[in-house]
Amino acid sequence: MELDFAPGLEDFREEVRTWLAEHIVGEFAAHRGVGSPTDDTAWDLRVEWERELSAGRWLGLTWPEEFGGRGLGLAEEIVFEYEYARAAAPARVNTQALELLGPTLLACGTHEQKSRFLPKILKVEEMWGQGFSEPGAGSDLADVRTRAVLDDGGVWHIDGQKIWTTFGHHADWLYVLCRTNPDVALRHRGLSLLLVDARQDGVEIRPIENINRSTEFSECFFNDARSTADLTVGEIDGGWSVVMTTLGLERGSALMPVQLGMERELSSIIDIARRNGSLDDPDIRQRLVDAYIGTKLMRSTNLRVVADLLNEDSPDPGAATAAAAMTTKLFASTQHQKMGELAMDILGFAGLFETGDPLDDVSTVQKLFLSSRAETIYGGTSEIQRNIAAERVLGLPR
């Protein structure tokens, strides 16, 4: 199975392929596929690559032209993401802004907010981090305790702590969920989403080194940090609906790149098994077959989602996409963990030692194995995802 596009989209697809082939050269080619939305490896090079994409006008394809986008349709965006993943281009660095905050501002922000922030995002002049989770409020976002008080001059005073802020120490700005009305009975009705300058004195950001020695996360401390009323996204105390918009984007936006990335990883794992003789082991062969079947199941699901999104006659493409995103996230996270365990078993004793080369086979497999352990937790724990799938997709009782 493969993606088939209308004739007009084939021309666009060829344009994307040609541009990527002409620009993924030199150091960019040496770092194909490096990094991810949760891995800051080769950060400076990836920032340079993102600015290359910006110069070619490949960022914000569907965003309105008045804010620096190209005003193209969803079909063109799907084509670009598919070809980008196939080319194994370096991972983009400002995904928090490009995939989450930007679309949220387009849906819920004021014209002034869009004009101020969207062009700088597309020019890679400002990086963003997400301030949602807290030490006592991870999956239960309605329990956030970071507090913001609005004074008579229209200035927010923010106090509290956030954690697991992806690439927070690289951020120039944060979009922060705060409790702005502690007196309401329903917790989610007293929240607001604020845009906060991360470089001010009232904000302290501390990187957290993970098991891979990557600083993908940070914890953020707010001590009378300031923002202004005009930097509230949506209504004051109405931040819950805005956040639900953001989380809907987060859970449904990256199915195809994940699947194509896993296909590339599996191909490399099979090559390693051929070279070191592990392919002669019948148990290893069976597990490789199972992994291969898993990636093909993901591909079939992704193709159905894309077809549904592009089908104007589909009765409810949004619901189908949300359901597929949820089930694919569940499947992919456990499948990726199994793939990491398989790859380590194929390496054998060689997988126990560091090589010093972050791009060689051993280091790549070690990173796959270690980083995949968290995939059943971040982006919505598997337990929470199963509850949501049961109640909202299957209609089962609570």
The hierarchical CATH code for the domain 128-237 is 2.40.110.10
Residue 309: is its pLDDT beyond 80?
Answer: no
355-379 pLDDT per residue, tens: 777 668 888 899 899 989 888 887 7
- Residue 203: pLDDT band (50, 70, 90) is very high
CB 306 within 8 A of CB 298: no
Angle at which helices 282-310 and 74-86 pack, to 10 degrees? Answer: 160
CATH number for the region 254-393 comes to 1.20.140.10
pLDDT of residue 260: 81
Q: For 212-269, give the secondary structure using H, E and C.
A: CCCCCEEEEEEEEEEEEHHHEECCCCEHHHHHHHHHHHHHHCCHHHHHHHHHHHHHHH
* Spatial distance between the Cα atoms of 173 and 126, rounded to a whole number of angstroms: 7
Residue 5, pLDDT > 70, answer no
pLDDT of amino acid 251 = 46
pLDDT tens-digit map of 95-123? 899 989 999 999 999 999 999 999 999 99
Name the percent of the chain lying above pLDDT 90: 56
Per-residue pLDDT of 136-150, as tens digits, reads 876 677 889 999 999
Annotation says 341 is catalytic: no
Per-residue pLDDT reduced to its tens digit, 343-352: 999 999 888 8
Q: Which position among 50, 83, 250, 263 bears the catalytic label?
A: 250
Q: Half-sphere exposure (CA, 13 Å, Cβ side) for 381? A: 7
Find out if CATH 1.10.540.10 is the number for domain 7-93. Answer: yes
Measuring CA to CA, which residue among 348, 337, 336, 334 is closest to residue 281? 348
Give pLDDT, residue 93.
93
What number of other Cβ atoms are within 10 A of residue 330's Cβ? 17
Give yes or no for a contact between 266 and 228, defined as CB atoms under 8 angstroms apart. Answer: no
Write down the domain spans for the chain.
7-93, 128-237, 254-393
pLDDT grade for 253, boundaries at 50, 70 and 90: very low
For residue 208, what is the DSSP state? E
Q: Which of 259, 336, 261, 264 lies closest to 299 in space, CA to CA?
A: 259
Q: What is the pLDDT of residues 14-57, one digit of tens each?
A: 999 999 999 999 999 999 988 887 788 899 999 999 999 999 99
Task: Name the 3-class secondary structure at 291.
Answer: helix
Tell me the pLDDT tens digit for each residue of 145-178: 999 999 999 999 999 999 989 899 999 999 999 9
In terms of DSSP bridges, do strands 203-208 and 217-228 run parallel, antiparallel, or are they unpaired? antiparallel
Q: Can you list the alpha helix ranges (DSSP code H) found in the chain? A: 7-23, 26-30, 43-55, 74-86, 95, 102-108, 111-122, 239-252, 255-276, 282-310, 317-347, 361-372, 382-388
Alpha-carbon Rg for the chain in angstroms: 22
pLDDT at 252: 45
**pLDDT given at position 325:** 66
